[in-house]
Amino acid sequence: GSLERRRCLYLHTGRACCQMIEVLLAALILVCSSMSGGSAGGYTGLPALGGIYYYQYGGAYSGFSGADGERAQQLDQRFYLLKLPIARAAMAVGGCLLVFPCILILVGVLRVPWHFPAWLLTECTLYVVIAVGTVPALYYFFHSLLSVYNSSVCKEREQLYQSKGYQGFWCSLHGAEIAAGLLGCMAAMAYLLSAGLAVRDYRTVHEQKQKPLQL
C-alpha cells in the first residue's frame, strides 16, 4: 500500500543513488583486490600472456630446466606470500565498504531517518570518518605494494624470467592495483557527497517535523 510506496520512494533520492554508487565502487575494489592477490605467479590471471591451465600444468616453466625451474617456482611462491597480506587487507576493506552502504540503504528504506532524524548526523559522521580514513589506507596499500615490488625476491624473479625470454613479470604496479587506488579515491569523494546530502536531509526532516507545531 502507501507504506510500501513511501519506502520505494527512498530509492529515488539523491542519498540512495550515492549509496548505490558506493556499493558498485566497493564491489569493483573487491574484484581488483582479489585480482592483485589471486596470482601465485607464472601466467595465472593474465589472459594476455596465457591461461590458468597453461600455468598450473607447468607450461609457464617450459623454458626452465633443473635448478632454474625449481628456483622459479620458489620465487613465485615467495612473491605470492609477500603480496597475500596486502591483498587480504584490501579485500577486507572492500568487503566492509560493500556492506556499509547496503545497511544504510536498508535503513533508508525502513524510514529510520524520518523517525530518528539524529541518525542522519550519525550517518554523516561515519561518512566523513571513512572518507578521511581512505587517504592513509590508500597510502598504506601502495606503500606496501611498492615495498614488495622493490624487494630482492621480486627483482630476482623478474631477472630470472627475463633471462628465459618471458615477459609480464616486471616489478611494478599492474592495472588492477592502480584501478583499486582510483576507485578508492572515487569512493572517498562519494562518501563526502553522501555526508553533505545527509546534512541536507536532516535539515529537511527537521523542518517538516516542525510544521505541524507551527500550525
CB proximity list for 73: less than 8 A, separation 6 or greater: 41, 61
Model confidence pLDDT, tens digit, residues 133-146: 999 999 999 999 99
How deeply is 78 buried, as exposed, middle or buried, from its count of CB atoms within 10 A (0-12, 13-18, 19+)? middle
**Count of domains observed in the chain:** 1
* Residue 23 in this model has a pLDDT that exceeds 90: yes
Give the structural domain span for 81. 2-211
Give the pTM.
Answer: 0.80
Model confidence pLDDT, tens digit, residues 48-75: 334 433 444 344 555 666 777 788 888 8
